[in-house]
Amino acid sequence: MIPNEKISAYMNSLLDLCPDETDKFYAQLVKNGNPVIKRDVAKFLSQIVTIKQPASILELGTNVGYSAIIMAKQLKNGKVYSVDHRKDLQDKARENFIEFGVSDKITLLNGLAKEILSTYLDDDRFDMIFIDADKKGYPDYLDYAVTHLNRNGIILVDNLYWKGSVISPEDFDKKKSVPILIEFNKRFTALEGFNSQILSIGDGLGFAVKED
């Protein structure tokens, strides 16, 4: 069986054939140790937004704005609403949005995701929701997504393999996020009213489409 590292290296070599203006930014984030989605996941996000052109995207987990930039760059008229509790990171993200010319397409919401969802965004609905925040909060974020997604809307969830821990939990610390994600993945793939699966790109990307 081909190791994941070789598969990832091969995919990255293909992505290198068509460089993106964010590649230098991405390389710097990796060098600095910033949590960031994998390049193949970024490509997939870009493709989904290009195809669907959602009017409203909710992102849970801003960090310094890489994934929000990837999505906003493909939007024609839509808006990204990005939530994070780290103001320092969002301040940096705001600078990055300006640099890449997408600041008018992104609204930052600062605070704990669970509180933001239950207060500021409790009456809102979205065409696409991307979850990439604290793993222990994933079940609550999915509860929100299921009830606040428009018809034919899309839910995307990153890190569902959690570096392989959900596949070989005996090799990891079960006191952390592993058991939560194991149960989350079972629930996610069996979501009623959704066509869902986990794609083997990046660190495991959940992909669910709300049915009519």
Assigned architecture for domain 4-210: 3-Layer(aba) Sandwich (3.40)
pLDDT above 90 (res 169): no
199: β partners: 205
Distance CA 82, CA 106 (A): 7
Per-residue pLDDT tens digits for 53-84: 999 999 999 999 999 999 999 999 999 999 99
pLDDT band at 1 (very low <50, low <70, confident <90, very high): low
Per-residue pLDDT tens digits for 189-200: 999 999 999 999
Span 39-60, mean pLDDT? 97
Distance CA 20, CA 141 (A): 31
Which position has the token pair 């300006």?
A: 98
pLDDT, residue 17, reads: 79
pLDDT above 90 (res 26): yes
Which burial class, exposed, middle or buried, applies to 47 when counting CB atoms under 10 A from its CB (0-12, 13-18, 19+)? Answer: exposed
Per-residue pLDDT tens digits for 93-151: 999 999 999 999 999 999 999 999 999 999 999 999 999 999 999 999 999 999 999 99
pLDDT, residue 172, reads: 63
Number of Cβ within a 10 Å radius of residue 133: 23
Distance CA 130, CA 144 (A): 12
Q: Across the beta sheet with 194-199, what order do the strands follow?
A: 106-110, 79-84, 56-60, 126-131, 149-157, 205-210, 194-199
Q: Is 2 helix (H, G, I), strand (E, B) or coil?
A: coil
pLDDT above 70 (res 208): yes
In this structure, what are the phi and psi dihedrals at residue 71, rounded to the nearest 5 degrees? -75, -45
Q: Which residues in 193-212 are b (16+ Cβ under 10 Å) and which e?
A: ebebebeebbbbbbbbebee
The answer to whether 41 and 72 have CB atoms below 8 angstroms apart is: no
pLDDT band at 7 (very low <50, low <70, confident <90, very high): confident
Distance CA 96, CA 118 (A): 28
H/E element, 47? helix 39-52
